[in-house]
Amino acid sequence: MCPESPFSRVIIIVGPTGVGKTSLAIQLAREINGEVVSADSRYLYRGMDIGTAKPTRDEMACVPHHMVDIAEPHETWSLAQYFETSTAVIQDILVRGRIPIAVGGTGQYYRALTQGWSIPPAAPDVGLRECLEQWGNEIGKWELHRKLAIIDPEAAVFIQAENMRRTVRALEVIFTTGRRFSEQRQAVKPDLKFWTIGLILPREILYARVDERIDRMFSQGLVEEVRALQAQGYGSHNPPMSAIGYREVLQYLEGKISLHEAVVLMKSKTHQFIRRQANWFKLTDTNIHWYRADENPFPKILQDLKLN
């Protein structure tokens, strides 16, 4: 059983990329004896720091962080792995009398935590998967995702088009079982209470903020970070390296585009990603308590937590 306290529930902080979730999580954790649990799929991987805007060592030294730097870029973490591991971490934090604060912009992780999502139990079909991967390479991941949207529109909403591996897996399950992937998702409601904080900014302010952050990433050594990963044998064949920023810099290092084009593409793709995040974190979602990130929301958030 989870210990009862004014903050006995699990706090979740969601919102678009660049809105300020990490700084709020650290500030909140220091105030209420909390520990941060990453809900960002990019934070799992070691060596991918600058391009993911991962918390700095100093920031992580302020409060304990979990689900950060636990895998190598050649490893692939499934949604089921994340759910199982993060739930165990959250339970451990609660047992120790501290407050779990899950923070991140990966919509699937948010839904997994709050709704107990699990992957359909279809046995892998290696031959079919290879054919689907080859098809995806031929027509492109965006077109493959469009094919999924035709067959299973609901699945296409919660699977990101950039993640061809998940698109392939969904199609594999559909063709293997003869049923839509979205119909086969299983949900086992976790025995946890949640309080979800959403941070929001006007789109034009958010775009300007992320553009400035991307410029800082390049000045802080993003190209050198990707070059170091490349020297270790990591590249576009590793799914984590397809994250926004890494794939554009890889293209630059391979001589396919200029550095200026890489920066412009990274900004454009990030803007697109922010728009897609709006499908996961909706202002109409009554389970999310929304706050303007530019209006010093911390005192109000703290007050709301104490009242609820």
Q: Block means of pLDDT (10 residues each) for the chain, length 308 residues?
A: 52 95 95 95 95 92 94 86 90 93 91 74 74 90 91 82 82 86 66 91 96 98 98 92 95 97 97 90 93 95 85
Count CB atoms within 10 A of the CB of residue 229: 23
Report pTM.
0.79
Amino acid 2: pLDDT = 38
Per the listing, tokens 């009554």 go with 286
Q: The dihedral of CA 266, 19, 273, 186: what is its sign?
A: positive
CATH of 126-184, one of 3.20.20.70, 1.10.340.30, 1.10.20.140, 3.40.1280.10: 1.10.20.140
> 230 with 250: CB under 8 angstroms?
yes
Are residues 130 and 92 in contact, defined by beta-carbon separation less than 8 angstroms? no
Residue 267 in tokens: 């900004």
Rounded to a whole number, what is the distance in angstroms from the first to the last CA of the chain?
Answer: 20
Answer for the pair 43, 68: CB distance below 8 angstroms, yes or no. Answer: yes
Separation CA 242–CA 162 (nearest Å): 8
222 and 48 Cβ atoms separated by less than 8 Å: no
What percent of the chain is helix, strand and coil (3-state, nearest 5)? 55, 10, 35
- pLDDT tens readout for residues 48-72: 999 999 999 999 998 999 999 999 9
Residue type for position 112: A
Helices 203-220 and 222-231, packing angle to 10 deg: 60
- Amino acid type, 94: L
| Residues sharing a CB contact under 8 Å with residue 169, sequence separation 6 or more, in sequence order | 119, 129
Please work out, in degrees rounded to the nearest 5, the angle formed at the alpha carbon of residue 280 by the alpha carbons of 53 and 196. 80
Q: Is there a contact between 197 and 301 (Cβ–Cβ < 8 Å)?
A: yes
Percent of all residues in the chain with a pLDDT value above 70, rounded to a whole number: 92
Positive/negative CA dihedral, 257, 262, 267, 270 = positive
Q: Which CATH class is domain 204-276?
A: mainly alpha
* Residues in contact with 175: Cβ distance below 8 Å, sequence separation at least 6, in sequence order: 125, 128
Q: Where are the domains of the chain?
A: 10-119+186-202+278-307, 126-184, 204-276
Residue pair 240/250 in contact (Cβ under 8 Å)? The answer is: no
In this predicted structure, what is the pLDDT of residue 1?
Answer: 36
Percentage of the chain lying above the pLDDT 90 cut: 61
Residue 194 tokens read as 């949640």
pLDDT digit string, tens, across residues 171-208: 988 888 888 887 776 655 667 889 999 999 999 999 99
Q: What is d(CA 27, CA 24) in angstroms, rounded to the nearest whole number?
A: 5
Enter the CATH code of domain 10-119+186-202+278-307: 3.40.50.300
- Measured CA to CA, the distance from residue 48 to residue 57 in angstroms comes to 13
Cα 95 to chain centroid, rounded: 26
Question: Count of CB atoms within 10 A of residue 11's CB?
Answer: 24
Cα–Cα distance between 66 and 100 in angstroms, integer? 10
